[in-house]
């Protein structure tokens, strides 16, 4: 691994169970997310508690691309499905950093097939989506990703709401999400910005991602400026009001 590359891995809980049947009965549902074991062919062995660290596995196996000519910073997010057999399928890049980095991270995840306990729903192994994130910084100096995202949000909001420059604002929101793809306020505002630019489906994708992250109060408490005049505000509000019903 190149010594100029610094990696910070963040693991997030599984975001859903595939193929669950809906029921009108109120039942206690115990869901256990997939867990990395670090043991090859783990399902063929006796069940051993999953204590291995996936972060360490990635650090040991990730081969950083030669990135001397480019400054790269961002947080890559990948979703994949852990099946009852332990097979890993349906890889999807949720937030891209760089094509080479994206593909290398997926290669490393795929190499861990057979090392995962599947998720469980009331004691039954089920296919479940897992999401993992890797923060990449090609510089040797430490960078505060949260502060970069916050600055991008503030600058983008000013350009959208005060200066009426949605194209410039979109670039700022993109920069913020690049480094912190779990900042809900950025998806909130980028969706509105995209709607202003006529990118309706992209805006809806941002808001669906926002929903998957737990949503945000539809009242723009984090903004000093009124946003109710924006084209997408009514649809955004309706989308989250439906969730609350």
What is the rounded CA–CA span in Å between residue 224 and residue 220? 8
- Residues 78-102 have a mean pLDDT of 94
What is the rounded CA–CA span in Å between residue 54 and residue 38? 7
pLDDT tens, position by position, 96-150: 998 999 999 999 999 999 999 999 988 899 999 999 999 888 777 788 999 999 9
What is the rounded CA–CA span in Å between residue 160 and residue 194? 10
Extract the tokens encoding 10. 């963040």
Q: pTM to 2 decimals?
A: 0.80
> Is the pLDDT confidence value at 204 over 50?
yes
Extract the tokens encoding 159. 């350009």
Handedness of CA 53, 57, 60, 66 (dihedral sign): negative
Residue reference for tokens 């190499």: 111
Residue reference for tokens 């990703």: 145
């Amino acid at each position: 691994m190149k010594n100029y590359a610094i990696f910070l891995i963040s693991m997030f809980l599984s975001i859903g169970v595939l193929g669950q049947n809906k029921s009108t009965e109120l039942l206690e549902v115990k869901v256990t997310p997939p867990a990395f074991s670090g043991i090859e062919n783990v399902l063929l062995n006796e069940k051993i508690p999953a204590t291995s660290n996936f972060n360490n596995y990635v650090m040991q196996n990730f081969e950083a691309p030669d990135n001397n000519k480019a400054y790269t910073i961002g947080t890559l997010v990948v979703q994949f499905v852990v099946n009852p057999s332990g097979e890993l399928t349906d890889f999807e890049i949720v937030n891209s950093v760089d094509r080479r980095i994206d593909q290398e991270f997926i290669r490393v995840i795929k190499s861990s097939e057979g090392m995962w306990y599947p998720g469980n729903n009331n004691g039954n192994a089920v296919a479940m989506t897992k999401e993992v994130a890797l923060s990449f910084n090609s510089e040797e100096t430490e960078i505060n990703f949260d502060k970069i995202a916050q600055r991008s949000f503030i600058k983008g909001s000013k350009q959208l709401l005060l200066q009426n420059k949605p194209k410039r604002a979109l670039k700022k929101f993109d920069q913020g999400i690049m480094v912190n793809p779990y900042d809900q306020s950025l998806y909130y505002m980028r969706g509105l910005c995209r709607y202003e630019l006529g990118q309706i489906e992209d805006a809806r994708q941002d808001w669906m991602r926002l929903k998957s992250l737990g949503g945000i109060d539809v009242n723009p408490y984090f903004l000093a400026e009124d946003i109710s005049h924006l084209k997408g505000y009514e649809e955004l509000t309706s989308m989250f009001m439906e969730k609350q019903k």
